[in-house]
Amino acid sequence: MSTRGDLAAFAEALAARLPGPWTSTYTRHAAYHDQIATTSELWDVGAVGYAASNFVLGHQAVLGRADGARLLLFDRPRYPAQFMIGALEPDAHHDAFHQVAEPNGITVPAEPVRAAARVTRRLLPRYENSLRQVQRNTAHPPPRRATPALASGMVSMAWHPDGSVGAVTGVREATAVLYGAGFQYHPYHRQFLLPASYRDREQIARIQAVSQRLAIVGVGVTMRPARPAAAPTALPAHPVSPAITSPTR
């Protein structure tokens, strides 16, 4: 556990050098679970988030701004001459974070002037941009993809206007089959999605594979043609499984 005594003083010096009025609040932790309330809010899927999740920090400082912006600062594990700093998530509904990139944190030297320059140049622009996107999503939620009508004991699919294929199901066994075929679950849209990047022929082949695998366990697949477009120029050589209906595209 690293508890260097200069973290509190460094945090105050850093806050004083960042653009705008920032304050610093220093906290010590007696045990790992004491840091979770704060580190679980880190808006980071990179090195800063990893360090905060896998090391006992011992202490931390939260830099705050009047508009609610917050940064978490702590010792960089195993590097006594460096600190790590990352943004904390704003208080917003989880849907507001849809398609908003994490403003991943950075490592800074244990020298306030250089550290402030690095935070100002690298971290704050990403953080401000992500905050604006969350605010826009809160005020104007992005439209959800229409959810295919769920048929009991089946997998219901539909083509979306952007070319992706959506799927919903209440059958537990079907989820593993969908994942295996390249579908990924999107919580915001509340359905599995097969990206449009696979193109028509590849999508049809994957849908057929899902249908054939599920037919073995007695689960059917329904397809709703929801995207008006020209039919693909060529189809797979093998016939479409009778468990699904080929869409008019």
Choose the final residue of a domain: 139, 160, 183: 139
- The mean pLDDT value of the chain amounts to 85
Note whether 47 and 100 are within 8 A (CB): no
Residue 247 has pLDDT above 70, yes or no: no
pLDDT confidence of residue 64? 97
* Same domain for 55 and 122: yes
Asked, for residue 92, whether it belongs to a domain, the answer is yes
In a domain, 24, yes or no: yes
114 is a domain residue: yes
Alpha helices in the chain (DSSP H): 7-17, 32-39, 47-54, 112-118, 124-139, 172-180, 199-216
- The verdict on 103 and 170 lying in the same domain is no
Same structural domain for residues 195 and 211? yes
Q: Report yes or no on 63 lying in a domain.
A: yes
Same domain, 204 and 236: yes
Residue with the larger pLDDT of the pair 167 and 239? 167
Express each pLDDT in 33-68 by its tens digit: 999 999 999 999 899 999 999 999 999 999 999 999
Q: Which residue has the tokens 């066994």?
A: 173
Judge if 166 and 244 occupy the same domain: yes
More confident residue, 176 or 152: 176
Is residue 11 within 8 A of residue 61, CB to CB? The reply is yes
Do 37 and 70 lie in a common domain?
Answer: yes
**Most confident among 111-115, 216-220, 230-234 (mean pLDDT):** 111-115
Q: Is the pLDDT of residue 85 over 90?
A: yes
Amino acid at 218: G
Residue 237 has pLDDT above 70, yes or no: no
Contact 123, 69 (CB under 8 A): no
Q: Are residues 237 and 206 in the same domain?
A: yes
Domain assignment present for residue 2? The answer is no
For residue 70, being part of any structural domain is answered with yes
139, 169, 189 — which closes off a domain?
A: 139
Length of the chain: 249
Same domain? For 114 and 161 the reply is no
The letter for the amino acid at 44 is D
Q: Is 181 inside a domain boundary?
A: yes
Residues 102 and 191 in one domain: no
Which residues of 111-190 form beta strands (DSSP E)?
154-159, 165-169, 184-186
State whether 55 and 78 are in the same domain: yes
Record the tokens describing residue 47, joined without a space.
């090195």
pLDDT at 161: 84
Task: Say if 1 falls within a structural domain.
Answer: no
- pLDDT at 96 (0 to 100): 85
Note the pLDDT of residue 125: 97
Q: Which of 139, 161, 186 is the last residue of a domain?
A: 139
State the total domains in the chain. Answer: 2
Q: Name residue, tokens 């929801």.
A: 226
- Do 133 and 22 fall within a single domain? yes
Residue 32, pLDDT > 50, answer: yes
Question: Same domain for 121 and 172?
Answer: no
Domain that holds residue 100: 7-139
Q: If you compute the radius of gyration of the chain from its CA atoms, what whole number of angstroms results?
A: 24
What are the pLDDT digits (tens) for 187-227? Answer: 888 889 998 898 888 999 999 999 988 988 888 888 876 54
> What DSSP designation does 121 have?
I
